[in-house]
C-alpha cells in the first residue's frame, strides 16, 4: 500500500475534516484530532464492501456465527487468549456499549474508578448517566506513565467503589500495560470484588517490542469480573461502520446486557459491518502490519522533530496507538492559550484537558496520516 498517498476526505462528510466546524473555530486547520486514519482501508475489506454494495439489497442483517468465530480466532491467534464465541455480543460501538452498562448494570450509588489522563468518554459517559467517578491519576515521570497501585487499592477498598474502567492499551498516553502491571491491578480487583470494563479497542495497534495482555487472560477469577470491549474499527479504519463486540464471561451478566440491548432495539448491524469485519479478520493482517510500520515511522519522525526543532516541547514515541501525547508545559501557556495558538498556527489537535485535569499542558496529535501532512503540520507548529 502507498500510505504516502493523500486522499481528499473533504466533501465525504468525514467528521475529522468536514465535521471540524462543530468543534474548532477554524476549518482551514490541518485536522489531526479525532481517532481515525487518513488511509484507505485494507484492499480485502474494500473488495468485500464493493461486493456488498453491488448486491443492491440492503435489508436487515443477522450476525452469523462465523463473525463470532472469526473474532474469537483473531484473539487466540494474536494474543493467545481464547474466548468462547458464544460469549460474544455484537454492538454498535465501544462507547455505546459502555453507556449501556452505565445505564443498565451499574447500580445507583456505585462509584467507578478511572485513571486519567484517559479517553474523555470514560468520564463523560458515566456522568451522563448520573454515575459517580473516583480518579486514580497515572503517575508521570519524564513522559513515562505508570499506575499508582497504592492509590488504586485505597479507592478499591471504599465500600461504594464497585467498577473500574481500564484502557488497555491506554489512550492517550500510549502505554501497553505489562502482564505484571495488570496482574497487580487484577489482584486488587479480585480482593475487593470490583467489576472491570476493559476497553481493548487499541490492542491491534501495538508497536514492536511490546505485547498486549488481555485483562481477562490474567486468571479465571478476574475473567469472571471483566467485561471486555473489542472492535476492529481502529485497527482497520472502519469507525464509520459502527461495529464492535463485547465479551462477558458471567452468564447472568451476559443475559442482563443482552436484555438491555434488546430494549434499545439496536441488536442488528448495518448491512456493511459484518462483511467488512469478517474480511479484516480473514485477510487484513498483512495490511495491519504495514500500516503500523508506516505510523511508527511517523512517530519516530515526530520524536526527532521535536527534539531537534522544539526541545522545550516533550514527546516520546508511544508503545501503542497512532496518537501522540505531546507535553507543551515547557511553553508556559495556559491551556486555552495553547489550544488557541495551535489553531491560529493552523493545526487542530485534541485539547489535553478533554482527558481530565491531568491533561493540562498537553495536546493529542493523531499521526495516522500521510507523512507529507505531518510535515506541513510541523512546519506550522514552528509558528507557535
Buried-exposed string 47-72: b where 16+ CB fall within 10 A, e elsewhere = ebbeebeeeeeeeeeebeeebbebbb
Q: What minimum distance in Å lies between the beta carbon of 348 and ligand PLP?
A: 16
Q: What minimum distance in Å lies between the beta carbon of 160 and ligand PLP?
A: 25
What does the per-residue mask of binding to ligand PLP show for 325-364, with x meaning CB under 6 A? ----------------------------------------
Q: How far is CA 183 from CA 83, 177, 218, in A?
A: 19, 10, 6
| CA 191 – CA 193 distance, rounded (Å) | 6
Helix/strand/coil for 206: strand
* Binding status of residue 231 toward ligand PLP by CB under 6 A: yes
Q: What minimum distance in Å lies between the beta carbon of 177 and ligand PLP?
A: 13
In this chain, which of 20, 32, 35, 206 binds ligand PLP, going by CB under 6 A? 35
Q: Within positions 78 to 117, which residues make up the interface with ligand PLP, using CB under 6 A?
A: 93-95
Q: What minimum distance in Å lies between the beta carbon of 347 and ligand PLP?
A: 19
Helix count and strand count (H, E) for the chain: 13, 14
Record the cell numbers describing residue 58, joined without a space: 440492503
User: Which residue in this structure is represented by grid cell 475529522?
Assistant: 16
Q: What minimum distance in Å lies between the beta carbon of 376 and ligand PLP?
A: 24
| CA 169 – CA 201 distance, rounded (Å) | 8
* Binding status of residue 244 toward ligand PLP by CB under 6 A: yes
Query: Site for ligand PLP (CB under 6 A): how many residues?
Result: 13
Helix/strand/coil for 170: coil
* Binding status of residue 167 toward ligand PLP by CB under 6 A: yes
In this chain, which of 17, 119, 164, 354 binds ligand PLP, going by CB under 6 A? 119
Beta strands in 281-380 (DSSP E): 323-327, 347-348, 350-351, 362-366
List the one residue out of 315, 359, 368 whose CA is nearest residue 118: 359
Q: Which residue is nearest to ligand PLP (CB)?
A: 93
Helix/strand/coil for 201: coil
Q: What minimum distance in Å lies between the beta carbon of 167 and ligand PLP?
A: 5
Q: What minimum distance in Å lies between the beta carbon of 120 and ligand PLP?
A: 9
In this chain, which of 239, 273, 324, 368 binds ligand PLP, going by CB under 6 A? 239
Binding residues for ligand PLP (CB under 6 A): 35, 93-95, 119, 167, 171, 199, 201, 231, 233, 239, 244
Amino acid at each position: 500500500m502507498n500510505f504516502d498517498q493523500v486522499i481528499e476526505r473533504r466533501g465525504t462528510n468525514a467528521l475529522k475534516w468536514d465535521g471540524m466546524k462543530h468543534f474548532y473555530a477554524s476549518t482551514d486547520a490541518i485536522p489531526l484530532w479525532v481517532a481515525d486514519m487518513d488511509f484507505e482501508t485494507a484492499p480485502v475489506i474494500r473488495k468485500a464492501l464493493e461486493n456488498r454494495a453491488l448486491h443492491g439489497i440492503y435489508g436487515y442483517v443477522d450476525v452469523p456465527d462465523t463473525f463470532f468465530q472469526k473474532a474469537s480466532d483473531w484473539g487466540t491467534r494474536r494474543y493467545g487468549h481464547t474466548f468462547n464465541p458464544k460469549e460474544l455480543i455484537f454492538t454498535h460501538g465501544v462507547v455505546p456499549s459502555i453507556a449501556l452498562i452505565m445505564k443498565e448494570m451499574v447500580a445507583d450509588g456505585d462509584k467507578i474508578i478511572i485513571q486519567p489522563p484517559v479517553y474523555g468518554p470514560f468520564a463523560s459517559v458515566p456522568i451522563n448517566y448520573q454515575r459517580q467517578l473516583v480518579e486514580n491519576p497515572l503517575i508521570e515521570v519524564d513522559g513515562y506513565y505508570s499506575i499508582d497501585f497504592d492509590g488504586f487499592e485505597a479507592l478499591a477498598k471504599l465500600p461504594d467503589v464497585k467498577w473500574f474502567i481500564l484502557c488497555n492499551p491506554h489512550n492517550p498516553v500510549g502505554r501497553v500495560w505489562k502482564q505484571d502491571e495488570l496482574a497487580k491491578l487484577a489482584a486488587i480487583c479480585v480482593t475487593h470484588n470490583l467489576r472491570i470494563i476493559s476497553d481493548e479497542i487499541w490492542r491491534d495497534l501495538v508497536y514492536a517490542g511490546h505485547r498486549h495482555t488481555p485483562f481477562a487472560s490474567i486468571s479465571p477469577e478476574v475473567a469472571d469480573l471483566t467485561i471486555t470491549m473489542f472492535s476492529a474499527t481502529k485497527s482497520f479504519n472502519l469507525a464509520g461502520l459502527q461495529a464492535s463486540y463485547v465479551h462477558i464471561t458471567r452468564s447472568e451478566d451476559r443475559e442482563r446486557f443482552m436484555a438491555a440491548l434488546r430494549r434499545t432495539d439496536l441488536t442488528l448491524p448495518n448491512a456493511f459491518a459484518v462483511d467488512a469485519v469478517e474480511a479484516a479478520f480473514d485477510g487484513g493482517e498483512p495490511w495491519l502490519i504495514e500500516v503500523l510500520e508506516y505510523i511508527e515511522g511517523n512517530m519516530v519522525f515526530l520524536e526527532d522533530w521535536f527534539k531537534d526543532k522544539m526541545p522545550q516541547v516533550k514527546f516520546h514515541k508511544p508503545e501503542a496507538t497512532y496518537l501522540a501525547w505531546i507535553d507543551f508545559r515547557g511553553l508556559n501557556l495556559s491551556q486555552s492559550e495553547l489550544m488557541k495558538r495551535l489553531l491560529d498556527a493552523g493545526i487542530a489537535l485534541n485539547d489535553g484537558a478533554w482527558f481530565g485535569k491531568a491533561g493540562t499542558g498537553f495536546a493529542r496529535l493523531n499521526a495516522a496520516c500521510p507523512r507529507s501532512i505531518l510535515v506541513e503540520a510541523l512546519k506550522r507548529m514552528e509558528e507557535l
